[in-house]
Amino acid sequence: MVLAPAVPLSTAIAEHLAATEGEHGLYAEIVAADPRLTYAVETLIREHTELRRAMQRDLASMNDKQLAELTRRLDRHCQRGNDLVYEAYVVDLGGEH
């Protein structure tokens, strides 16, 4: 049954949104430190809106293809977020000696 994993997934997404968005979230910190990353941050926030909508659907009613697509979207979003953090912190630090 798909419904059982939906609760931890919804909780994980809610925690992610709380940590990244808002005035004191990670995204605000990244943009303040490196404004050139604003577009990447805005893209991730737009994805959050789409993911919120997807999570409001009844996951138990999704077919395998819909669940696979949601999984791919979550995976791509996580990768873009990881790339953003890398760009914001690791790349900048790598140039210092």
Number of domains the chain is built from = 1
User: Residues 68, 14: contact at Cβ < 8 Å?
Assistant: no
Q: How far apart are CA 83 and CA 92, in angstroms?
A: 13
Structure tokens at 76: 């791509």
pTM given for the model: 0.77
pLDDT for res 61? 82
First to last CA, the chain: 53
Q: Chain-wide mean pLDDT for the chain?
A: 83
Helix (H/G/I), strand (E/B), else coil: 35: helix
Question: Which of 10 and 14 is assigned the larger pLDDT?
Answer: 14
Segments forming the whole domain that contains residue 66: 3-94
Reported as a single tens digit per residue, the pLDDT across 37-65 is 999 999 999 999 888 887 777 777 888 88
